[in-house]
């Protein structure tokens, strides 16, 4: 399996009482299929995997696999503070027909070396040996920031189903080094939406990101422009992305993006504590800022 294009890191959906809203998942998947994404990445950071029970995460995975029906890829994030729970989620992902799985490093008792990190990921990956496994590198949230080239070097010997890295860090030089490790043996998927063009410039062909959930056609146009060597237009469109992401990060990012989904007609309910939704005033402020950047016009133009 090779990921070419963009994968949407989808958001959790809840009912008014805080229980899961599984009924909205087919609608979200149909939208993303129509938008042209290559797949969905579920129960990750934006999908609030760490805020859910293992049973809830399994229910979400089943709903996405059923709704996708092989039209797009389903990548299941199985990261947890307990490796045993990670393995349970990984085995379940394989059982239900997911296409791949992924995990962050443990984020309470943290790995202390690259070898230790690889040993942890090898244990998790072994629970679903038939599926491609992607390490989810996100040091800003996990607090685990290690040499990813060394991770690939050690990991290829201990993790037979290692497919690559979901690379959510701004260290573009290391990202490029990982892309070129052993002439591109592993997939390195760009995880910063605001850096998509930069990632393409150093050789990326795949990316996973949260804003792809509501703005995928804009990013696909950037990829198209880049591949057609229209760099001036690609840079201009990437700057528009940077402008609207700057509006988002004035607020807690997940809350702001969930608010955008609501503006677009997808009410995902309130995120779970300790996450909180935007206040009414902040919701209005965000919408006004996005309008000033031409965000909604951009979505309309490329939908």
Active site residues: 136, 166
User: Contact, 74 vs 64, CB < 8 A?
Assistant: yes
Helix (H, G, I), strand (E, B) or coil at 205: coil
What is the spatial distance between Cα 271 and Cα 51, in angstroms, rounded to a whole number? 9
Please state whether the peptide bond connecting residue 79 to the residue before it is cis, i.e. omega within 30 degrees of 0: no
Residue 5's CB is within 10 A of a number of other CB atoms, namely 18
* Cβ-based neighbour number of residue 18 at 10 Å: 12
What is the C-alpha separation between 135 and 58, in angstroms, rounded?
Answer: 20
Residue by residue, DSSP assigns 177-188 as: HHHTGGGT-SEE
Strands 73-77 and 162-167, by their bridges, are: unpaired
| β strands within 198-247, DSSP E | 206-209
To the question of whether residue 249 is assigned a binding role by annotation, the answer is: no
For tokens 């795949």, what's the residue? 206
Distance CA 150, CA 275 (A): 34
Q: How far apart are CA 286 and CA 294, in angstroms?
A: 13
Bond from prior residue into 126 cis (ω within 30 degrees of 0):
no
Query: CA quadruple 246, 247, 252, 257: dihedral positive or negative?
Result: negative
Place of tokens 């349970």: 88
Query: Six-digit token pair at 258?
Result: 């969930």
Nearest-5° Cα angle at 166, 159 to 131? 45
Binding residues for pyruvate: 208
Binding residues: 208
């Amino acid at each position: 399996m090779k990921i070419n294009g963009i994968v949407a890191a989808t958001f959790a959906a809840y009912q008014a009482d805080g229980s899961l809203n599984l009924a909205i998942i087919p609608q979200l998947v149909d939208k993303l299929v129509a938008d042209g994404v290559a797949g969905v990445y579920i129960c990750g950071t934006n999908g609030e995997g760490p805020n859910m029970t293992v049973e809830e995460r399994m229910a979400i995975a089943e709903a996405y696999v059923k709704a996708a029906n092989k039209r797009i890829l389903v990548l299941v994030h199985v990261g947890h503070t307990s490796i045993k729970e990670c393995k349970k989620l990984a085995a379940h992902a394989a059982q239900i027909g997911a296409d791949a799985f992924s995990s962050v490093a443990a984020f309470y008792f943290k790995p202390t070396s690259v070898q230790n990190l690889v040993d942890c990921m090898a244990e998790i990956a072994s629970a679903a040996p038939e599926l491609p496994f992607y390490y989810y590198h996100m040091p800003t949230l996990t607090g685990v920031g290690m040499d990813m080239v060394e991770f690939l070097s050690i990991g290829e010997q201990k993790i037979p189903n290692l497919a690559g890295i979901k690379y959510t860090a701004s260290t573009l030089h290391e990202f490029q080094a990982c892309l070129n490790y052993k002439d591109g043996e592993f997939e390195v998927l760009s995880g910063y939406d605001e850096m998509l063009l930069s990632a393409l410039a150093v050789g990326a062909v795949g990316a996973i990101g949260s804003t792809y959930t509501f703005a995928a056609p804009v990013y696909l146009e950037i990829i198209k422009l880049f591949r057609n060597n229209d760099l001036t237009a690609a840079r201009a469109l990437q700057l528009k992305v940077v402008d609207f992401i700057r509006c988002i990060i004035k607020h807690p990012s997940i809350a702001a993006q969930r608010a955008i989904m609501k503006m677009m007609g997808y009410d995902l309910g309130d995120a779970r504590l300790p996450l909180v939704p935007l206040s009414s005033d902040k919701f209005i402020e965000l919408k006004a800022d996005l309008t000033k950047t031409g965000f909604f016009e951009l979505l309309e133009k490329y939908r």
